[in-house]
Chains A and B, each alone.
Chain A
Amino acid sequence: MTKLLPWLKFACLNTLRNRRRSAVTITIAALGTAAILLAGGFALFTYQGLAQSSARSTGHLIVAKPEQFSRDEDVPLQHGLDDVAALKSKLLADDAVRQVLPKIEFSGLISNGDKSTVMMASGIEPDAEFAVKGPFLKMHTGRVLASSDTQQVMLGEGLARSLKATPGSSLTLMASTTEGALNALDVTVSGIFSTGIGDVDKRLVYTDLGTAQKLLVTQRVSSLGVFLDRMESTGPAQDRLQAALPRLTVRTWLDQAQFYRSVKELYNRIFGALGVIIGVIVVFVVTNAMAMAIIERTREIGTLRALGTLPGQLVRSFALEGLMLGGVGALAGALVALGVAGALLVFPVQMPPPPGRNTGYPLQVAMDPTLYGGTLLAMLALATVASALVARRTVNQPIVHALAHV
């Protein structure tokens, strides 16, 4: 360490020779680092938000018959689960399981008497569902369903508009029963909500489990959503529950989260390419700055080598210069990114709705230690290696040539 300190000091002094050039290099490294951290933080925040949203929507784990995931049903709930109460008890016995929510998914028609339209319906246990999921729906009018309600529904905003329904309106649900017969049930609208996705809001209906089972004439449910104590429990809990329920299939939220996977794949490519481009720019800037510094100091390099300095020592010295420029730039960039991320928490900025959605979302940037650490290390490594590579050729040229450099 004591032998490295003089080289560090030498490198530090050398970075101060041309302060303007060093400042430009540091600024670009800082901007590049900040851009990577902000873009990466935004992507991470999006992933985290989507992951939580997906897990909250379906449950961390989904338990159903294998056919439920692999084959279409000929009649509603053909692959549904029986004896739900026993299954719930078995699942709740696991330490990581906090709640088990049964769900019936079915389709049919909904009518106001004058007009009928297609609906995608979910039968849920309202109190538990809303307690576990929190405010995942935006209520426009009316109120959310309660478990004490019978034969009541919540309509998506677009569907309510189509049927000219308001809270208190009477509608009729029509669907095929599990026997294949057509059944109808009169219901009352309790509230109108928005999921934020226009196309979904034109079709979605929530009702309580009992109403759905009455309409479909069954005691079955489509699947059980298992909510765990935390996201990280998902994998181990899946293994345990799958072992405990060998005749059923236990899937994770990730298996069902097509939208999450698509967004993540897309963002990974976009922000990955952005990171590579920024990295290349930083490397070019550092390389250019170091190349100019090295050309200017060719004669000095010859002198130092004549005095007995080994080429490796000089390469190391230039690498340390790059490390300092890149390091200071990366640290400054990290501070800028932290500042921006912090400012977004204090002064929220609302993003416009993404394609296919009708509500915006708050712009936030995750401050992930792994992202910051990795980016800083990458910047340091790039600047160091780039400087060393640029220096290598000049440092290894014949001393006589270096001393004759004008």
Chain B
Amino acid sequence: MNAPDRLPTGLAAGRHAAASGSGTVPAVLQLHGVHKTYRLGSHVVPALRGVDLALHAGEMLALTGPSGSGKSTILNVAGLIDAPDRGEIVLRGRPAGGLSPREAALLRRDAIGFVFQSFNLVPVMTVAENVDYPLFLAGVGTAERRERVDTMLRAVGLHEHARHRPDALSGGQRQRVAIARALVKRPALVIADEPTASLDSHTADQVLDLMREQGHAHGAAFLVATHDARLLGRCDRAIALLDGVIQ
């Protein structure tokens, strides 16, 4: 399946028009003919078989499919934490395949945010320190970091919990911290793996609203793997995967 490089603005519900200004929205991420296999003992398991995909700025794309369909593998490949066997990855218009581990790390640091199902916050850091960490890694100055963390925590409604440790927060609050951590560096792409799976429905709704709202505010593209039907309704597009192939 060949994905277009440019997404019609209408598909993005008009919200990208101002950002693109040209009537089309640039592709943040493109996957071309991506293949990936895993070895389980002597068995070779094809996880992705020629996946083509394009994700545009501000767009929220849902990946659905049963377990083992290749959702997480796409997230890993798109998030540059795993390398495809074949195929091309283009991030912000530049090839991202074949990068050295260090180059990939620096690109992730700069351009990609992650939201995990289990939040994956660092327990010894406070909420503010967790959100600050990507900015610290990126070498942002102390004063600017403080301001951006403060702004981000206000945006996700956790300003008053800035000095709390993650274990003092509810699941929904922790996921909001994770979203703040993912977005604070203003990434082009946010990879979200089952972001609502560990949350009750009310909290999940809140988290989804927050992701949409903050994604729009920062112009970040979201690539979301999910089983959650509610999430599908809130995404701009949904792609179904089965046996490593987009349906």
Contacts and interface: CB of A to CB of B under 8 A. Distances in A.
Interface stretch (A116-124, A133-141, A158-166, A302-310): A302-310
A14 B112 CA distance: 26
B209 interface: no
Contact of B137 (A2, A309, A399): A309
B124 A14 contact: yes
Interface string A44-62: 0000000000000000000
Nearest to B138: A308
A307 B134 contact: yes
B197 interface: no
Contact of A304 (B82, B112, B122): B122
A10 interface: yes
Interface string A168-191: 000000000000000000000000
B239 interface: no
Nearest to B165: A13
B116 A307 contact: no
B112 to A, nearest CB: 8
Nearest to B193: A403
B109 interface: yes
B125 interface: yes
B105 A308 contact: yes
B114 A303 contact: yes
A399 B120 contact: no
Contacts of A13: 124-125
Contacts of A403: 81, 116, 120
Interface in A1-56: 2, 6, 10, 13-14, 16-17
A6 B122 CA distance: 14
B139 to A, nearest CB: 8
A310 B105 contact: yes
Contact of A308 (B82, B110, B125): B110
Interface in B67-125: 76, 79, 81-82, 101-102, 105-106, 108-110, 112, 114, 116, 120, 122-125
A307 B82 contact: no
Contact of B82 (A10, A309, A311, A400): A400
A94 interface: no
A87 B110 CA distance: 84
A303 B120 contact: yes
Contact of B124 (A2, A10, A303, A309): A10
B115 to A, nearest CB: 11
Interface residues of A, number: 22
A88 interface: no
Contact of B81 (A16, A310, A399): A399
Interface string B119-159: 01011110000000110111000100000000000000000
B196 to A, nearest CB: 18
Given A308-B110, A308-B137, A303 B81 contact: no
A299 B102 contact: no
Interface residues of B, number: 26
A114 B116 CA distance: 103
Contacts of A10: 124-125
A380 to B, nearest CB: 23
A308 B125 CA distance: 17
Interface string B169-192: 000000000000100000000000
Contacts of B136: 6
A300 interface: yes
A356 interface: no
Contacts of A355: none
Taking each of A299, A303, A304, which has the highest tally of chain B beta carbons within 10 Å of its own beta carbon?
Answer: A303
Nearest to A17: B124
B82 A303 contact: no
Contacts of B114: 303, 306-307
Contacts of A310: 102, 105
Contact of A307 (B102, B123, B124, B133): B133
Contact of B101 (A303, A307, A311, A400): A311
A369 interface: no
Nearest to A303: B120
A308 B134 contact: yes
B181 to A, nearest CB: 8
Given A17-B124, A398-B82, 4 more contacts: A16-B124, A303-B114, A308-B106, A308-B112
Interface of B: 76, 79, 81-82, 101-102, 105-106, 108-110, 112, 114, 116, 120, 122-125, 133-134, 136-138, 142, 181
25 contacts: A2-B142, A6-B136, A10-B124, A10-B125, A16-B124, A17-B124, A300-B120, A300-B123, A303-B114, A304-B122, A306-B114, A307-B108, A307-B137, A308-B106, A308-B109, A308-B112, A309-B105, A309-B109, A309-B137, A311-B101, A398-B81, A399-B81, A399-B82, A400-B81, A403-B120
